[in-house]
């Protein structure tokens, strides 16, 4: 089922990424964002449908601000300053159990920025990196997918020492090293194949940093799921669980790839 999902999904994603307009890619990510936000607020606000709807709306608003005003520092500062206040006011509006109100308010502030920024960065990466935009998005995807695949096989055949058993009992240190090596390989291939404007030394560093932090993003989502008492964030992707289960590392690799483009990449 996983293989079938990949055979159908990957060509469609690449076709939209390379052949479609930047706004089309952004709309695709916005749809994924809606599903991911439903999953996230389903875990943090399980008995409160109106709050889940409000959370999805705030998450979409974050992505919209980044898309339309991402180059305006004033808009970004306003977003960072206002989001916690909005989260508090929405929780006051939907108080529910006072014992969990603080955690729900924190989730309402954190979730939209985590999801809207994580997936929004992939939309901005496609748009703002010019002709290299699709290649950089593929790089973010590869850093996530290669790291996940390398960690799986290295952990399966070599894994002996637990990485973080309290959060993810099956992950091992050997798997993490294998995932990191695979991410670097994917980045080096990117330098030669799908994003040739990326210098080789930059590719290696980005593979190490984003690959490692992507694995940390995977652990972080596992922590949220275990805290909420669920195995998968959802079941929309056959054989893979929910959207969040698929993009937890990608939101991190996408974010750091976009940060690299903003601050370190020199346009050819």
pLDDT at site 5: 59
**Which residues lie below 8 Å from residue 74, measured CB to CB, with a gap of 6+?**
none
pLDDT at site 234: 77
Label residue 6 by pLDDT band (50, 70, 90): low
Contact call for residues 91 and 108 (beta carbons, < 8 A): yes
Q: In 91-216, at which residue ranges do the beta strands (DSSP E only) sit?
A: 162-164, 168-172
pLDDT at site 246: 85
Sequence ranges of the domains in the chain: 2-263
b vs e for 114-138, b when ≥16 Cβ sit within 10 Å of the residue's Cβ?
Answer: bbbbbbbbbbbbbbbbeebbbbbbb
Q: Which of 95-104, 195-204, 208-217, 229-238 has the lowest mean pLDDT?
A: 229-238
Per the structure block, which two tokens stand in for 263? 């601050």
pLDDT of residue 241 exceeding 80, the answer is no
Percent of the chain's residues with pLDDT above 90? 78
pLDDT of residue 208 exceeding 70, the answer is yes
pLDDT at site 220: 94
pLDDT at site 159: 87
Contact call for residues 56 and 42 (beta carbons, < 8 A): no
Instruction: From 143, 118, 120, 122, select the one nearest 16 (Cα to Cα).
Output: 122
- The CB-based long-range contact list for 205-210 (8 Å cut-off, 24+ gap) reads 206/139, 206/143, 206/256, 206/257, 206/260, 207/143, 207/180, 207/183, 208/180, 208/183, 208/184, 209/256, 210/140, 210/143, 210/183, 210/252, 210/253, 210/256, 210/257, 210/260
pLDDT of residue 187 exceeding 70, the answer is yes
pLDDT at site 230: 86
pLDDT of residue 2 exceeding 70, the answer is no
pLDDT at site 267: 87
Confidence (pTM): 0.91
Percent of the chain's residues with pLDDT above 70? 95
| Mean pLDDT to the nearest integer, 26-51 | 95
pLDDT of residue 239 exceeding 80, the answer is no
| Mean pLDDT to the nearest integer, 135-145 | 95
């Amino acid at each position: 089922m996983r293989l079938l999902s990949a055979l159908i999904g990957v060509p469609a994603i690449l076709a939209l990424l390379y052949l479609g307009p930047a706004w089309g890619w952004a709309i695709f990510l916005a749809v994924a964002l809606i599903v991911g936000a439903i999953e996230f607020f389903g875990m943090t606000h399980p008995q409160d449908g109106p709050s889940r709807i409000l959370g999805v709306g705030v998450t979409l608003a974050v992505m919209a601000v980044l898309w339309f005003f991402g180059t305006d520092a004033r808009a970004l500062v306003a977003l960072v300053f206002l989001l916690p206040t909005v989260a508090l006011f929405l929780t006051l509006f939907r108080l529910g159990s006072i014992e969990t109100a603080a955690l729900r308010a924190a989730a309402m502030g954190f979730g939209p920025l985590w999801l809207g920024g994580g997936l929004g960065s992939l939309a901005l990466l496609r748009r703002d990196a010019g002709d290299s935009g699709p290649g950089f998005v593929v790089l973010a995807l590869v850093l996530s997918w290669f790291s996940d695949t390398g960690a799986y096989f290295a952990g399966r055949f070599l894994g002996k020492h637990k990485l973080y058993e309290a959060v993810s009992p099956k992950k091992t240190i050997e798997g993490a090293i294998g995932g990191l090596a695979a991410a670097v390989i994917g980045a080096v291939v990117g330098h030669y194949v799908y994003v040739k404007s990326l210098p080789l030394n930059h590719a290696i560093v980005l593979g190490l940093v984003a690959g490692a932090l992507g694995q940390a993003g995977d652990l972080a989502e596992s922590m949220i799921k275990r805290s909420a008492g669920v195995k998968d964030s959802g079941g929309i992707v056959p054989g893979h669980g929910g959207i969040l289960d698929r993009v937890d590392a990608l939101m991190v690799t996408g974010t750091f790839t976009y940060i690299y483009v903003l601050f370190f990449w020199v346009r050819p």
